[in-house]
Amino acid sequence: MLLSFLAVLASSCVRADPIDTFANVTVYDPGTASADVNYARTLNLPNNTVLATWSDFNEANATIPIYRSTNNGFSWYPLGIATSDDPGRRLLQPHLIYVNETFGEYDTGAVLLAVNAVDSKSTNIEIYASGDNGESWAFVSRVASGGPANTTNGATPVWEPFLLYHDHKVTVYYSDQRDAQHGQKLSHQTTQDDFDSWGSAIDDAAFQTYTDRPGMPTVAKLPNGQFIITFEYAQLLKNSSSNYTYPVYYKLATSPENFASEPAHKLVVDSGAKPNAGPYVTWTSYGGVNGTIVVSDSDSNPVYINQALGQGTWKELKTTAGRAYSREVQVPDNDNTKLRFAGGAEFEQETPSQILVTIMDLAKALGG
Ligand SMILES: *[C@@H]1O[C@H](CO)[C@@H](O)[C@H](O)[C@H]1NC(C)=O
Ligand SMILES: *[C@@H]1O[C@H](CO)[C@@H](O)[C@H](O)[C@H]1NC(C)=O
Ligand SMILES: *[C@@H]1O[C@H](CO)[C@@H](O)[C@H](O)[C@H]1NC(C)=O
Ligand SMILES: *[C@@H]1O[C@H](CO)[C@@H](O)[C@H](O)[C@H]1NC(C)=O
Ligand SMILES: *[C@@H]1O[C@H](CO)[C@@H](O)[C@H](O)[C@H]1NC(C)=O
Ligand SMILES: *[C@@H]1O[C@H](CO)[C@@H](O)[C@H](O)[C@H]1NC(C)=O
Ligand SMILES: *[C@@H]1O[C@H](CO)[C@@H](O)[C@H](O)[C@H]1NC(C)=O
Ligand SMILES: *[C@@H]1O[C@H](CO)[C@@H](O)[C@H](O)[C@H]1NC(C)=O
């Protein structure tokens, strides 16, 4: 009751100081055709500061750049860099969260970075932390290790970490090829109080058909206390031994540590659109009692929205942002009527690759 009252209050309240919209602001241009910058991620910090990060799949010694904007994403400058202490280990597939309580040895306000740390022999889900809002970084924890980067079923890497801070705990979700029963599955591990006490890996999505490859998990909290996890549910095309299709699926659960037993729903769009690959989910309080769940995929300009807490069909909403592999969609902290997109190159289309940010007017697009 209290929750839905708050949701009504939040959704009817258009902030007094709305932020400006713009499209395709360049965060970073590598200036070389050999770069493949993608996997852009952003983070709201207090004081209307926003961080951005990404990785370069073609860089031999990939480190993770952290850029900062203090004008809601309109302009950006380099702030920090996260580097592996292990020679030859490349940092890829970043994700950032802000921890607004003390955690481990960190005071309130630590920024955590999850990456896939890759070398010729292994893939590793690692956590780095910053106690100064993203300027300096230190390695804090290795959560999971797998075999070398290799997407063939039977190889044993780990991929694509996503962090969630909830109930005084840090959970990291990732794609996991280490289970001999599954070409790939989704797993998570959780720790409370410090970075040295990760629980064992728990399934989030593991399907009966060995060749199925659920991947690229992202999670958002909903106003009814549930959590949504979206993922690409890679399945072999009929009569093919190598060609996959990557439809977007999701699960809903009351605990973000308990998706395994929940059914997987296909994200069905009323226009007949078929969202494909590398989804990213967020939720905004704008858009009625339930707010709006927003999902981006890797292959489309539009996003897919749902105002019934994940029940029923989804609607397609055109955006002002371009397509990008694992394009991120977020809600600015200070304006729930806007969406922020961040993206780099499209899948397997390196040139040109830049990191671009767009602020779009969601309220206007919804006719509000
Ligand atoms: C926000 O700004 C205030 C005033 O400048 C400052 O005291 C505070 O430390 C800032 N908070 C963060 C998290 O940067
Ligand atoms: C990049 O990594 C390679 C192989 O690990 C190493 O030989 C080379 O010195 C590194 N280059 C730089 C600029 O660190
Ligand atoms: C931290 O953030 C969560 C979720 O936004 C919120 O519920 C909680 O009150 C915050 N805690 C503090 C100490 O600000
Ligand atoms: C990738 O993994 C498959 C399955 O284990 C293996 O057959 C193949 O040799 C690996 N590829 C490389 C380049 O190591
Ligand atoms: C797939 O293979 C089976 C058996 O060979 C065949 O009967 C069926 O028509 C094929 N389906 C398609 C879509 O090609
Ligand atoms: C795989 O997909 C590609 C591109 O759609 C197509 O050209 C190729 O024939 C397909 N191969 C198989 C074995 O289905
Ligand atoms: C809010 O979500 C509930 C649960 O799915 C649904 O029954 C209801 O119709 C939704 N309300 C609106 C205004 O869409
Ligand atoms: C932003 O760039 C993309 C191409 O990356 C393009 O499709 C889109 O129309 C641009 N948006 C605007 C508003 O110009």
C-alpha distance from residue 141 to each of 98, 157, 208 (Å): 16, 18, 32
* Each residue's pLDDT tens digit, 64-120: 999 999 999 999 999 999 999 998 899 999 999 999 999 999 999 999 999 999 999
- CA torsion sign for 329, 265, 221, 133 is negative
Q: If you average pLDDT over every residue of the chain, what do you get?
A: 93
The answer as to whether 17 is a domain residue is: no
Q: Which ligand is nearest to the CA of 164?
A: 3
Q: What is the CATH number for 198? A: 2.120.10.10
Q: Is residue 300 part of a domain?
A: yes
Classify residue 18: in a domain, yes or no: no
Of 52-61, 150-159, 287-296, the one with minimum mean pLDDT is 52-61
Residues spanned by the domain of 212: 2-12+23-365
Beta sheet of 185-192, edge-to-edge order: 158-166, 169-176, 185-192, 202-205
Contacts with 161 (C-beta within 8 Å, 6 or more apart), sequence order: 93, 95, 114, 115, 116, 125, 143, 172, 173, 174
Ligand 8: residue of 320, 327, 339 to mutate (most ligand atoms within 8 A of CB) is 320
**Helix, strand, or coil (residue 205):** strand
Residue 151 lies in a domain: yes
State the DSSP H helix or E strand holding residue 305, giving kind and residue range, or none if neither: strand 303-306
User: Within a domain: residue 342?
Assistant: yes
| 359 falls within a domain | yes
- How remote is the CA of residue 237 from the centroid of ligand 5, in Å? 11
pTM value is: 0.92
What is the domain count for the chain? 1
Amino acid at 317: L
